[in-house]
Amino acid sequence: MKTILSLFSVFCFICVFSGAELNASPSRNALVFQQTEKAVISGKIQDTKGNPLMYASVFLSNTTLGTISDEQGNYSINNIPFGQHTLVVSFVGYDFKKLSINVNNASMIQNFQLKKSAVEIDAVVVQTKKSKNKWKQNFKKFERSFIGVSDNANSCKITNPEVLVFHYNKEKRVLTAKARDVLVIENKGLGYTIQYVLENFEYHKDGSLIAYMGSAQFIPMETENTGESEIWKRNREEAYRGSLQHFLRKLARDTFIKEGFVVQTENSMFPVENEKEVDQILKHHPDPLGSEIQIYPGRYYYERRIWFSGILHVIYTRESEGYTYGATRDPRYRLKSFQQSWIKIQGQDVLFNIMGYLNDPNNVVVYGYWAFENMAEALPQDYHPD
């Protein structure tokens, strides 16, 4: 089974807390909430000599929230929901910076100083035909692993692949990739242009591990075509249903069973084969919250801690497996009318935001359908289905 570490950004966060921690488990009613508080983050972006950097990109990782600095290097981002975020700043020719912040005030000031890149990534100006062909082969592996092979992958395109530089370690049989600039991905299936700051990419030739890490800004595409807008809306809702984001949001509300999720920790390593087995799991695990899954308050009202023993098996019953998912498995594999995923905690427990994202995705490993759905199916954290 293919494994992808820290899939959804794969966006790194450093947990920063203040205030007293709540120790008592929240009641079922306490999990019903509405996050309405919004904040503004502003500041100035300069180089190490104090000169303002104009048109630097500033954004909250894995959201649609971002801007560029003005002629004086000033920036301001509005409508930021309270919670743990990663603020990312990038400028061509300079090392990018990212900062984990906990937004719990109406306004925050955050300044940045960027330093010029000390060493440019090696770029071969004159390439032989052999090296060009090798680059193309490596790019195909990168594209398949990063974009994915889901139904929506055909609608995704990396528009500036030339910024990628690959290195293959023959001894370890590991392919790595770096980028000289921000990767730009056009996702015409979901209607987003994604600007991705790639930090790390690792592909093991034996297929045992595929891992990537970075920060993404989602920029909604504009169209005057009503039909295209409706397609984007429908495709986004389809990508959202059954996703980890969907599951965590409904888990925080204790409505995940009503939403079509079935979970178990006992015998969780064994996939189920038919609807009858799913019904049996639901019969034996009618109320897993509090018995198999433990949820505790975080440091703030918009956070929860989750813990479960071993591996949590999550089945989503309201959407069938896509055709391309079956193509990635055994040729004899038969598609199912439900989707199966597995999640394992790397530690004692995990903090997640009630909006449906993990404070630190590096604390979990996902398998199955959640690992199959890569950037082609990724949605921003501030996405909300109607």
Q: Transcribe 238-249 into DSSP letters.
A: HHHTTSHHHHHH
Tell me: the pLDDT tens digits for 152-184? 999 999 999 999 999 999 999 999 999 999 999
∠ CA 177-149-364, nearest 5°, is 65
State residue 361's pLDDT score. 87
Per-residue pLDDT of the chain (386 residues; tens, 9 = 90+): 333 333 333 333 222 222 233 333 444 444 444 456 889 999 999 999 999 999 999 999 999 999 999 999 999 999 999 999 999 999 988 999 999 999 988 999 999 999 998 755 554 444 555 677 899 999 999 999 999 988 899 999 999 999 999 999 999 999 999 999 999 999 999 999 999 999 999 999 876 678 889 999 999 999 878 899 999 999 999 999 999 999 999 999 999 999 999 999 987 888 999 999 999 999 988 889 988 899 999 989 899 999 999 999 999 999 999 888 887 777 788 999 999 999 999 888 899 999 999 998 889 999 999 988 899 999 999 999 97
Q: Single out the residue of 267, 269, 245 nearest to residue 256, CA to CA.
A: 245
State residue 25's pLDDT score. 41
**Letter string b/e over residues 134-164, b meaning 16 or more CB atoms within 10 A of that residue's CB:** ebeebbebbbebbbbbbbbbebbebeeeebb
Residue 136, SS3 per DSSP: helix
State residue 36's pLDDT score. 63
Q: Please give the single-letter amino acid code of residue 216.
A: A
State residue 122's pLDDT score. 52
Residue 233, SS3 per DSSP: helix
Pick left, alpha or beta for residue 228 (phi over 0 → left; psi -120 to 50 → alpha; otherwise beta). alpha
Residues 6+ apart with CB under 8 A from 277: none
Q: Please give the single-letter amino acid code of residue 174.
A: V
Residue 185, SS3 per DSSP: strand
Q: Are 181 and 160 in contact (CB under 8 A)?
A: yes
In CATH, the architecture of 29-109 is Sandwich (2.60)
State residue 37's pLDDT score. 81
State residue 167's pLDDT score. 93
